[in-house]
Structure 1
Amino acid sequence: MNMAVMNKTAQSPLDLRPGDGSTAKPMVEFQQVSKRFGAGSSGAEVVALDDVDLIVPRGSVTGIIGRSGAGKSTLIRLVNGLEKPTSGHVLVDGTDVAGLDEKNLRSVRRSIGMIFQHFNLLSSRTAFDNIALPLEIAGIDKQTIEKRVTPLLDLVGLSDKRNRYPSELSGGQKQRIGIARALATEPKLLLSDEATSALDPETTRSILALLTKINRDLGLTVLLITHEMEVIKTIAAHVAVIDGGRIVEQGATFDVFTGHKHETTRALLGGLAGMHLPEFLTSRMTNVATPGSHTILRVIFKGENATEPMLARLGSDLGIEVNIMAGAVDEIAGRPFGMLVVSLLADLEKIDLARNFLADHGLSSEVLGYVR
């Protein structure tokens, strides 16, 4: 990535990603990676990562999500060589990072940008000088630094803050400077370590929009770790769920969020649309159908089917009375997703007809129980 390309992008956006990524060499690849640390306070060895296999597609935004202590930070430190795996291989653009000497590792690190939760700006340096810092360390001359930093200030929307100090900037502005600094060495991979955790929701949305623009216009691969589900569903095309040092689920974000199989994923997704049933319903629900009872059905709407009036057609086509009890519509990785809990008054044979009708139109359903 160079600034000439960046300037051209502003006028005529270019897709610098190679094809759809299906046959391109991954930007990052973990091959059976384990990381163990020495004995902790209990005297036992600490297993931070355990036999991790993971691919970060080139040109993608990939998210790693998990609880505190799940192994997220260790995983990202292996990518830039701050930690070395106990076993396995960590490949960045085809290079095994763990096998590099210090000189070659410095070269790889220049191709990796890093943004942090708490910005890590130097209070004694202006916005311009904070962005220029990695270039100064690399021995770049002042004229080149000027040519590289000025467009970056414009990219993050802070040209007018060039000479301001961190104490004069808001949290969102500090993070934008941090992002510009991460781009200063013209990296091909951008790592984000809980970069929005210290920001309010509105500022978070603006930072995610900026990262999306960087990924789209510059073709930069973004790997982010977070515990915030909103971040993943807003920006990431791919996601991996980590728990106890193991990847328990991974794939396209929409597929993982709407068809998750692991309990950890289900727990992390607790705040998404329709995941919680109202107490007035659960307190009356049983597992046994009796004459005259209502069947409580959870219906999942995905993609293009999320906006189709299928429940209305249960009444018009099958003569089944449908009452909506709870639900919501959301958007995951740019695709609509909805979950409704409905009450159906019909015999079990008609309930089966209703579920088959929904399945024929691409909607999945699940019987949650029965209420008299």
Structure 2
Amino acid sequence: MVALKGAGKRYGPAGEGGFTAVESVDLTVERSAITGIIGRSGAGKSTLIRMVNGLESVTSGKVLVDGVDVGALGEDGLRGLRRQIGMIFQHFNLLSSRTAFDNVALPLEIAGVDKKAIRAKVGPLLDLVGLGDKAGSYPSELSGGQKQRVGIARALATDPKLLLSDEATSALDPETTQSILELLKRINADLGLTVLLITHEMEVVKTIASHVAVIDAGRIVESGRTFDVYTNPQHETTRTLLASALKLPNWLRSAVKPQPSAGDRVLVRLVFFGDTAFQPLTGRLVAELGSDVNILAGAIEEISGEPFGSLVVSYSAEPDVVARANRFYAETGLTTEVLGYVA
């Protein structure tokens, strides 16, 4: 649905005095998929997503939406394209003087749709986002989550083939965020709508996106299936973004040392996914090493519908014990990471 080919955006003159926000990005967004772009503040996420609907013009390369070169379109062409692209904003961007119904109706009014057709369209959209009873409410009378639902309904008003989400949940509390993500997943499934979202929250990506691209300093540094990127990050930026999701408890992190002393224990994270997710490998590790194994932390979660678990264990850092453990990992295919050493 979307293809960026060497796409870049530079502000100001070449050389000194200019600024490159996005540089030589190659990225594809599969039709009917939910794709996330994640990065820190200032990484170029918002500029990139605005290049897709022509709100920012590319200064190098191309952006194609359903085969159409966005940069080659004139104003009339861009207006036509934007009717096929819905956009959800971080701060909702609702008109305070218009009711929920009228906010959703706005793009249809601009497109010249008659009032009868607008009424027939807007009511079902408000029902779809769970606000059928709020049609007459003004934004000041709605919660943050309800405002965002109005924004989603408005984005769907022109029957777009592509939905862009610009940090749509970052202004919401965790419970409301989860409900909005579930709504987006349902819209994607029921309408077959392609969704491209940007966020700085890994929790959002792993909950909703089947594919993810990591952006840093205007460049895509890693991309792939969300599950693969999450369970086996290759780039340091990705590992940093994942650190909060996979971090050790404070009481344990403060005790970790990079090198062992005599009598210390090695701290290892065991990662379970794929074939290893359903095997009793922890019990077999205990059988292999004896009662020396301590389980210190762990979590089981789901990434794009696939099970994923991690367990932090410690055992003697004596060379013979470590060698036995490593042989066990090699034989079973268990993914591991040495986190350090503790007394």
TM-score (norm 1): 0.86
Structure 1 SS opposite 2:293: strand
Residue 282 of structure 2 corresponds to residue 308 of structure 1: no
Q: Deviations over 1:208-249 (max 9, x none)?
A: 010000001110000011111211111111111101000011
Equivalent in 186, 199, 220 of residue 247 of structure 1 = 220
Residue 48 of structure 2 corresponds to residue 75 of structure 1: yes
Task: Name the structure 1 match of 2:303.
Answer: 332
Q: Deviations over 1:37-78 (max 9, x none)?
A: 0159x9521010111101111111111111111000110110
How far apart are 1:329 and its partner, in Å? 2.6
Structure 1 SS opposite 2:112: coil
Letter in 2 for 1:294: R
Residue 171 of structure 2 corresponds to residue 202 of structure 1: no
Structure 2 SS opposite 1:151: helix
How far apart are 1:303 and its partner, in Å? 3.9
Task: Name the structure 2 match of 1:14.
Answer: none
Task: Name the structure 2 match of 1:35.
Answer: 9
Give identity over the alignment, percent.
63
- Structure 1 93/284 Cα, relative in aligned 2: closer, same or farther at 3 Å? closer
Q: Deviations over 1:157-205 (max 9, x none)?
A: 1111111111211111111111000000000000001111111111111
Task: Name the structure 2 match of 1:358.
Answer: 329
Equivalent in 344, 350, 353 of residue 315 of structure 2 = 344
C-alpha contact (below 8 Å) 1:131/1:178 kept by paired residues: yes
Residue 163 of structure 2 corresponds to residue 190 of structure 1: yes
Letter in 2 for 1:321: D
Question: Root-mean-square deviation (CA), in Å?
Answer: 2.2
Q: Which moved more, 1:350-359 or 1:133-142?
A: 350-359
Q: Which moved more, 1:168-177 or 1:343-352?
A: 343-352
C-alpha contact (below 8 Å) 1:153/1:180 kept by paired residues: yes
Letter in 2 for 1:285: K
Which runs of 5 or more structure 2 residues have no equivalent in the other structure? none
Letter in 2 for 1:107: G
How far apart are the structure 2 equivalents of 1:335 and 1:67?
26
How far apart are 1:294 and its partner, in Å? 2.8
Q: Deviations over 1:254-278 (max 9, x none)?
A: 11111101111111112113x3365
Letter in 2 for 1:333: S
- Structure 1 282/119 Cα, relative in aligned 2: closer, same or farther at 3 Å? closer
Q: Deviations over 1:104-132 (max 9, x none)?
A: 11111100000111111111211111111
Q: Any residues of structure 2 matched to 1:96-245 within 5 Å, and which? A: 96-245=69-218
Structure 2 SS opposite 1:122: coil
Letter in 2 for 1:342: V
Task: Name the structure 2 match of 1:92.
Answer: 65
How far apart are 1:283 and its partner, in Å? 3.8
TM-score (norm 2): 0.93
How far apart are 1:360 and its partner, in Å? 3.4
How far apart are the structure 2 equivalents of 1:193 and 1:63?
10
Q: Which moved more, 1:168-177 or 1:334-343?
A: 334-343
Q: Deviations over 1:134-160 (max 9, x none)?
A: 011001111211221111111011111
Q: Which moved more, 1:30-39 or 1:51-60?
A: 30-39
Q: Which moved more, 1:42-51 or 1:89-98?
A: 42-51
Which runs of 5 or more structure 1 residues have no equivalent in the other structure? 1-26
